[in-house]
Structures are given as structure tokens and as C-alpha cells.
Amino acid sequence: MGVPNAAVGLDEVDQRMLEALARNARISLKELAEAAGLSSPSAAERLRRLEERGVIAGFTVDIAPEAVGYSLQAIVRIRPLPGQLHVVQRLIQDTPEFIECDKVTGDDCFIGRLVVRSMGDLDGILDRITERAETNTSMIKATPVKRRLPPLSR
């Protein structure tokens, strides 16, 4: 049996609330209610239901890596050597400079996003991984599309 689509059942009010939260997760309940065209108690109830249904998985902060000293970002494609898949996965999980990583199909098993302060730091991280996997690294020049909500309307 497939996983139900969480977006099913989102009405226009839910969509307005999610879009407002995506712009500013710290929005006040009063402002959220205004954006959705609801009273504050109604907005609070809808927000609670969106969380219970798993539509909202959490609230977060978006930190600019360069503002905290991470001036370089890289995408690393990782292909573990035979028998090293779980070891490489644990190594990635235990390396805090990996700010995102997906396990994928195809020639590579993992595609990760790293933040580093210098090329030397990148080399040190890659040296630990290349003992157990092949890597292919691309430096990020710009991010024309930041992480965003998927289309919410049907």
C-alpha cells in the first residue's frame, strides 16, 4: 500500500498559511491568521491539525553559512567501495559539514552538500571518505533556486 499524499486535503486557507510560514516561520499567530483570513483561534487550530497530519514537520531557522565562516559549498557524489555502504553512510552522518545528503539510485549512492571554511578543510573531509568510497566534487558558485515549498495547489 502506498503512502498517502499529505497535500491531499489542503484547501486554499491551508495553502496561504503554509506559504506565510515558508516566508517567515517566526510569524506571529495574529499575522498568520490575517494572512489566512481567519481568527487567531481558528488559525491556531488549523496549524495544530497541519502538524498532526504531518504536513508541517517542524519549524526551523535558515542560517547563511558564509555569515558563520563557511565561505565554500560543494556537492559531492559518493560511490562506496564494495561492502562499505553502511560505513560511508555513518561517516557522512557523523561529519557536521554535510548539511544535506540524499541516498540515490544510479551510479552514485549518495549526493551530499558540504559547507567548508577552506579548500584544506574540504580535502580533509574528502580524504576520510576516499578511503572507503570514490567521490566526485563540484564547487557551488551560486544557488539560483533556494530550498522552497513544492507547489501546493493541485
Residue 47 in domain: yes
Over range 126-154, report the average pLDDT. 92
Are 148 and 117 in contact by the 8 Å Cβ rule? The answer is: no
pLDDT at 103: 98
Does the structure show a pLDDT above 80 at 17? yes
Residue 146 in domain: no
| Average pLDDT taken over every residue of the chain | 92
Residue 17 in domain: yes
Does the structure show a pLDDT above 60 at 1? no
The pLDDT tens digits of the residues spanning 43-83 come to 999 999 999 999 999 888 889 999 999 999 999 999 999 99
Q: Which of 23, 132, 13, 28 is nearest to 81 (CA)?
A: 132
Residue 151 in domain: no
DSSP per residue, 75-130: EEEEEEPTT-HHHHHHHHHT-TTEEEEEE-SSS-SEEEEEEESSHHHHHHHHHHHH
pLDDT exceeding 90 applies to what percent of the chain? 82
pLDDT at 5: 42
Q: Which residues pair with 86 in a beta bridge?
A: none
Residue 130 in domain: yes
Indicate the pLDDT class of residue 4, thresholds 50, 70 and 90: very low
The reply to whether 105 and 71 lie within a common domain is: yes
Domain that holds residue 23: 12-52
Indicate the pLDDT class of residue 154, thresholds 50, 70 and 90: low
Does the structure show a pLDDT above 90 at 126? yes
Residue 34 in domain: yes
pLDDT at 122: 98
DSSP per residue, 12-23: HHHHHHHHHHHH
The three-class DSSP label of residue 132 is: coil
Q: What is the pTM of this model?
A: 0.79
CATH label of the domain that carries residue 107: 3.30.70.920
Distances (CA, A) of 47 to 1, 11, 71, 74: 28, 13, 36, 36
Residue 144 in domain: no
CATH label of the domain that carries residue 22: 1.10.10.10
Residue 90 in domain: yes
The reply to whether 133 and 101 lie within a common domain is: yes
pLDDT at 62: 85
